Chains A and B, each alone.
Chain A
């Protein structure tokens, strides 16, 4: 028994292609789920519109309290029963976005709730319209205050993409599994992939920290 730690290096192009798919999927899932989560949070915060509120609440609770894997299986295997055929990537994206949007809605709702009521009233007095108050006054503060949770959830989205490998999306974990079944160099491949994920998340977190400093550092000093 010998370990060939160079093996993953020989297959670096494949692994990096997988990593690129992981990054793209994560980025898309993050953006979609963040915006959807924001919409959910607004509905949940205002408890309006009356029809949507219970639906959104139920959606969020269901997706927060069941495993991502079950949600993906439900979409990928369950939907065709009603004639909705989705490709692995589509099903995976749908599940991941719905899952992560539910988490974001809770994070952002907490953020919106912690903004003092006076700010809404003050902005109202200045003659800003409701959407303006939200996008100019409330939203930036919410993002600033909940920034650590937002980045945390972003990392979970990156890890979540690894579950898409079970639906045969050719992202990093799936590429590694395929390589593994071709070569049985399991220890080397998966250790390497683990480090690759670590690198990707560290990079993503560094970008987030940079953005935070760029956007909010001056404003937090004032507090």
Chain B
């Protein structure tokens, strides 16, 4: 093993690391917004709404991210919609993340005892007030560990964006690898980059889970 090339390419790694962080954060932000909305709709009283959202969630939870990436990346131009690579990537990650976060949100909402809804109703709160003031903040607390767990997954899954040519850590590292001809060491550094974000987060998740179990 030989890491003597690393100082020369350190800056490139740093830059690439931030590109990955940027993509992951964007995907997490938009995915959460979509997912929470879809998750709330999944608990809707109206069957039609539930049905439509259910189809979306099932489809995107039931197929690999890579196929979804290919479908949008190759498929959209094929039907005449031309959007940039950045847009495509963020769109796919949003749809993918949204589907999973919708399920997490739904199960969180359903974990709240029915009595709370009834109590809120008898206090004269309407649906939105109940959801906003009573249910959702409790849901957030319940869903938090699974949510962070999924965010870790999103950070790691963002590596797949390199396959359609989105310039992030893995994509940039291929360039570096071609220049240094040191794939073994390069991928150790790349792995380390992911590890230093994901490891503390997964420790956080297990800490929260342990604490809530102890209660």
Partner-B contacts on A (CB < 8 A) = 1, 3, 61-62, 64-71, 73-74, 77-82, 158-160, 162-163, 165-166, 173, 176-177, 180, 184-187, 190-191, 193-195, 197-198, 201-202
The answer on a CB contact under 8 Å between A191 and B71 is: yes
With A65-B194, A176-B67, A177-B70 as contacts: A74 and B199 at CB distance below 8 Å: no
Q: Who on chain B is nearest to A81 by CB? A: B184
Bound CA span A184–B73, Å: 12
Chain B interfacial positions (CB closer than 8 Å to A): 58-59, 62-68, 70-71, 74-80, 152, 156-160, 162-163, 170, 177, 182-184, 186-188, 190-191, 194-195, 198-199, 202
Neighbouring B residues of A202 by C-beta, 8 Å: 62
Whether B67 pairs with A74 at a CB distance below 8 angstroms is no
The interface residues of chain B, by DSSP majority, are classed as helix
Which residues in A have their C-beta under 8 angstroms from that of B68?
194
How close is B148's CB to chain A, nearest CB, in angstroms?
Answer: 13
Contact B170 A186 (CB under 8 A): no
Q: Evaluate whether A197 and B71 lie within 8 angstroms (CB atoms) in the complex, with A69-B159, A77-B183, A187-B78 already known.
A: no
Contacts of B65 in A (CB 8 A): 159, 162
Contact among B64, B78, B183, B190 with A185 in the assembled complex (CB-CB below 8 Å): B78
- Contact B195–A62 (Cβ < 8 Å): yes
Q: Are B78 and A74 in contact (CB under 8 A)?
A: no
Contacting pair A69 B170 (CB below 8 A): yes
Residues in A with CB closer than 8 Å to B79 are 1, 3, 187
Closest A residue, CB atoms, query B197: A65
Question: Contact between A77 and B177 (Cβ–Cβ < 8 Å)?
Answer: yes
In the assembled complex, the Cα of A73 lies from the Cα of B157 at a distance in Å of 14
A163 & B202 in contact (Cβ 8 Å cutoff) = no
In contact, B74 and A67 (Cβ under 8 angstroms): no
Whether B63 contacts A184 by the Cβ 8 Å rule is no
**Min distance, Cβ A73 to any Cβ of chain B, angstroms:** 5
Beyond A70-B190, A197-B64, whether A186 also contacts B199 by CB under 8 A is: no
A-B contact pairs, 11 of them (CB 8 A): A65-B152, A65-B199, A67-B156, A70-B159, A73-B190, A79-B184, A158-B64, A184-B78, A185-B78, A187-B76, A191-B75
Residue from B67, B152, B186, B187 in contact with A190 in the complex, judged by beta carbons closer than 8 Å: B67
- Which chain B residue has the least Cβ–Cβ distance from A72? B187
Beyond A81-B182, A184-B78, A187-B71, is A61–B199 a contact (Cβ under 8 Å)? yes
Residues in A whose Cβ lies below 8 Å from that of B194: 65-67, 70
* Contact assessment for B75 and A187 in the assembled complex, using a CB-CB cutoff below 8 Å: yes
Cα–Cα, bound, A194→B71 (Å): 9
With A81-B182, A176-B70 given, is the CB distance from A70 to B62 under 8 Å?
Answer: no
Q: A185-B78, A187-B71 are in contact. Are A73 and B63 (CB under 8 A)?
A: no
Which A residues are CB-close (under 8 A) to B188? 74, 78
Interface-central residue, A68, A70, A71, by most chain B CB under 10 Å: A70
Q: Is the CB of B184 within 8 A of A190?
A: no
Other than the known A62-B195, A78-B187, what 7 A-B pairs have Cβ atoms closer than 8 Å?
Answer: A65-B199, A74-B191, A81-B182, A158-B64, A173-B70, A180-B74, A186-B74
